[in-house]
Chains A and B, each alone.
Chain A
Amino acid sequence: MNPATDHIPEAPGRSWRQIRQEVKPVAMSRLGRRRRLAGWARAAALTVTIAGAGWGLYTVAHSWSTNRSELATAMHSELVREIRLSNPHGVLTREWAAQVLALPRTASLLALDLPALRDRLLAHGQVQAAVLAREFPGTLAITLQERAPVARVQADDGQGQPRQLLVANDGVVYEGLNYDKAMLAGLPWLDGVRLVKSGRGFAPITGMAEVSALLSTAQLQAPHLYREWLVVSLARLAERDEIIVKSQEVPEIVFSRKRDYFKQLAQLDYIVDAARGLAAAPPLQSVNLSFEGQVPVRLLADPAGPPAASRSFSLQLSQRKKPREL
């Protein structure tokens, strides 16, 4: 406030501001001493409040990082009264989820360890993703996303008995629940794979992405062919990039994962149609779609006819069926 000292350095000589303002307690009046005590008390109260708040924050942070359930039970919370499941594209039910989670009746909503519960759901291969959320006052909301099976596989249950497992497009092998039996019966079996134990289940099957692409393309574009497929073999997938399909009509159809599945299916469709059209011709033994430009076809050997080698024919490019005709 001093008019000239705002922006100019302090002049030489003492200013009144250099006068010591502290007064010894004996020189203070009763009111002054009371005021000083009140000031100290306020400062102490403020210090204690800040220290308490700091300690509280530390405690909460420590509990959060070490024992969340203890933190939750320290607070008043409602019990879990309802489990609500949202699974619009799946077959798993709320009862199944409740059974898997196995929450005790006395569990409070805040005390739930949601990551652990989510892991419990994800332990089932059929569940691809799970989101758990608290909806106060007492609802546990679960949203599930399930895997879709693309094939079946036979496995040993450990007691010498075979059991049917399902394989999803990402190669995960799991025991399907609540699926429609007719739908399951329509899935081809998977062959030529070696199931490797991993934990309580099996390790994902490698190469299933290509198989799944083939199967889904066939299911969409040539359902009349797909319906007849019985077994899909991955035995030559790693070595020769070939997927072998055994159908009711053709014992061996060889697909290449290097070629467009749609083209291969179109060629197969044409060949099957052509073979049916050949009068008195033996049924198809194998169709190899792995070559670019021609399709070697082998007919079933006839004991009375000429040697099998001479009964093969190839499909020329010009003979291919147009995709739109599929």
Chain B
Amino acid sequence: MSSRIVAAVEIGTDKVAVLAGEITRGRALNIIGVGLAPSRGVMKGEVVDYKAACEATHHALEMAEKRAGIRIEEVWLAQTGGHLDAFLNEASVNVKSADNTVTALDIASVCELAKEKELPAGRSRIHEIRRPFRLDGRAVPAPEHLSGRRLEVGYWIVHGPESKISDNIHVVGGYHLEVRELVLASLATGSLLTSAEERAQGALVIDLGKGVTDYVLYRDGHVLVTGTLPVAGDHLTNDLSLGLRVTLAQAEQLKLRHARATAVTRDRADKVWLNGDASFGDRQLPRMAIEAITAARVQELLEVIRAKLGPAFVPEHCGAGVFLAGGTAKLPGIEEAATRVFGLPARRGVPPGWVKDELQDPMFSTVLGVFQFGLRTAHEHAVPPRRKTGLLSNLTRIFAAT
């Protein structure tokens, strides 16, 4: 029985999370070790201090190895950051055969064309996510052997600056490990928190982290749009710090204790203590002001996401609603805020039942999703394989042609 030890790694702005898993027969996953360390040297998903990022990441990797009692062999790395970008590239071909039957050659040709788009200098592809094929305008999951005149396909190509991607990879390389897969964080989270049925119905998954916000929109079971915003929980903290004239640490504590995504307090006299420890310099702040600041920022953030989604977001095609994940999604009232912005029911994403209790915390959603996405997508999104042409099939083709 062939098995390999793989680590899913997320180098986030807030923390570095590592899960060591044993993958058996390429499909079955068994989580055997967890490593967690406060992140350092990372801002908005980008490595800004290599040594500090290495120390934090390697500490988490070592912790996972020690807890699992094994040696990690390879790494699947979650990739996020405001530097990532994506675009849709579509292509179409006329079906070649005289009887208008789509062949594997037609499929390969249209896929190649759709991926041919050149990238700007210094940028690397991270994902090429295929959208459903369209045959004469109708969506078909597998067009081979179907009849039609025109075959179309679109690829959602995610790319980023090579230098910043390589920084993340080199942080893992500094631990003498190889990155075998790079998974977009939003895809990982979306893959974990939504079921196949929900993706088929249409779903929007928003991962509100500390430094960045990742989102992915599914329609008809396929990824329609992905994106990353360099705005997240840190901005709430920063706004509170500026608006209330407190330090960042104090603002962070205020956010965690009293912030809300929707303002509900109407009483101006309702006040909260800044530190709450009756120490020198401790003072009272209006709760309404805290809520107003964070609610305004959250609403702005969600509206930016909606604007980024553009015409791709159609509430009627998003039947499963909005799923919220990440540390900032713990803010009270965030579902209400999301519902208000998107006009859809919103809820916090819950990991599936197979995830153990100790890994149910949203901080593990992305790393768990990396495993989930990695094990699932190879079978779900793959283009149908070209059949080998043997002697018999060649003869059949000759006779059919005559």
Write the residues of chain A forming the contact surface with B, with a CB cutoff of 8 angstroms: 1-9, 11-16, 18-23, 27-29, 31-33, 35-36, 39
In the complex with contacts A2-B127, A4-B130, A11-B125, A29-B380 CB distance below 8 A: no
Chain B neighbourhood of A23, CB < 8 A: 170, 173-174, 176
Is the pair B108, A8 in contact by a Cβ cutoff of 8 Å? yes
Q: Pick the contact of A8: B59, B119, B181, B383 (CB < 8 A).
A: B383
B-side residues, CB < 8 A to A, are 50-51, 54-55, 58-59, 61-62, 108, 111-112, 115-119, 123-130, 155, 162, 165-166, 169-170, 173-179, 181-183, 374, 377-378, 380-386
Tally the A-B contacts, defined by beta carbons under 8 Å: 117
- Taking the closest CB of chain A, its distance from the CB of B224, in whole angstroms, is 14
Chain B residue with the shortest CB-CB distance to A33? B176
Give the distance to chain B from A32, nearest Cβ to Cβ, in Å: 4
Contacts A2-B181, A13-B119 aside, 5 further interface pairs with beta carbons under 8 A come to A3-B127, A4-B155, A5-B128, A27-B50, A29-B174
Q: Which residue of B lies closest to A5 (CB)?
A: B128
Cβ distance B267 to chain A, nearest Cβ, rounded Å? 53
- The reply to whether A3 and B170 form a contact with Cβ atoms under 8 Å apart is no
* Contact partners of A12 in chain B: CB under 8 A: 115-116, 118
Contact for B181 among A1, A14, A18, CB less than 8 A:
A1
Query: Can you list 12 residue pairs at the A/B interface with Cβ under 8 Å?
Result: A4-B129, A4-B381, A14-B119, A15-B124, A16-B125, A16-B169, A19-B162, A20-B166, A21-B170, A21-B173, A29-B174, A29-B175
- Bound complex: CA A5 to CA B181 (Å): 13
| A36 & B176 in contact (Cβ 8 Å cutoff) | yes
Q: Which residue of A lies closest to B160 (CB)?
A: A16
Contact A18 B50 (CB under 8 A): no
A3 & B129 in contact (Cβ 8 Å cutoff)? yes
* Nearest B residue to A18, CB-CB: B124
Q: Is the CB of A7 within 8 A of B382?
A: yes
CA distance A12 to B159 in the complex (A): 13
| B378 touching A8, Cβ below 8 Å | no
Given A4-B383, A7-B386, A19-B165, A32 and B176 contact (CB-CB distance below 8 Å): yes
Q: Report B204 CB to chain A, min CB distance, Å.
A: 20
CB distance from B256 to the nearest CB of A (A): 31
Q: Quote the shortest CB–CB distance from B9 to chain A (angstroms).
A: 14
Whether the pair A28, B127 counts as a contact (CB closer than 8 A) is no
Pair A31/B130 contact, Cβ less than 8 Å = no
On chain A, the residues within 8 Å of B112 by CB distance are 8-9, 11
Residues of the B chain whose Cβ atoms lie less than 8 Å from the Cβ of A27: 50, 170, 174
A3 adjacent to B378 (CB under 8 Å): yes
Question: Contact at B174–A7, with CB atoms within 8 Å?
Answer: no
The 8 closest A-B pairs by CB, nearest first: A3-B381, A11-B115, A23-B173, A36-B176, A35-B176, A32-B175, A13-B119, A4-B128
* Chain A residues whose C-beta falls within 8 Å of the C-beta of B382 in the assembled complex: 3-4, 6-7
Query: A32–B166 Cα gap in the complex (Å)?
Result: 17
B2 → chain A, closest Cβ, in Å? 17
Are B58 and A29 within 8 A (Cβ)? Answer: yes
The smallest C-beta distance from B198 to any residue of chain A, in angstroms, reads: 19
Question: B91 to nearest A CB, angstroms?
Answer: 11
A21 to B381, CA, bound (A): 27
Whole-angstrom CA separation of A8 from B382 in the bound complex: 9
Question: Cβ of A35 and Cβ of B175 under 8 Å apart?
Answer: yes
B382 to chain A, nearest CB (A): 5
Q: Please measure, in the bound complex, the distance between the C-alpha atom of A12 and the C-alpha atom of B157, giving whole angstroms.
A: 12
Residue of A13, A15, A18 with most partner-chain B CB within 10 A:
A13
Residues of B within 8 A of A3 (CB): 127-130, 377-378, 380-382
Residue of B nearest to A42 (CB): B71
A19: chain B residues within 8 A (beta carbon): 124, 162, 165-166, 169
Alpha-carbon gap, A14 to B166, bound state (A): 12
CA distance in complex: A39, B365 (Å): 31
Say whether B170 contacts A11, CB under 8 Å.
no
Measured in the bound complex, the distance between the Cα atoms of B390 and A258 in whole Å is 66
A8-B115, A19-B162 known; A32-B125 Cβ under 8 A: no
Q: Complex Cα distance A1/B184, Å?
A: 12
Q: Which residue of A lies closest to B76 (CB)?
A: A1
CB closest chain-A residue, reference B113: A11
In the bound complex, CA of A7 to CA of B378 (Å):
11
Asked if A1 contacts B116 (CB within 8 A), the reply is no
B175 to chain A, nearest CB (A): 4
A13 touches B125 (CB 8 A): yes
Most A Cβ at <10 Å: residue of B54, B55, B178: B54
- Cα A300 to Cα B23 in complex, Å, equals 106
A16 and B126 in contact, given A8-B108, A21-B179, A32-B176 (Cβ under 8 angstroms): yes
- How many angstroms between the C-alpha atoms of A22 and B177 in the bound complex? 9
Q: Which residue of A lies closest to B130 (CB)?
A: A4
Residue among A2, A16, A22, A31 making CB contact with B58, cutoff 8 Å: A31
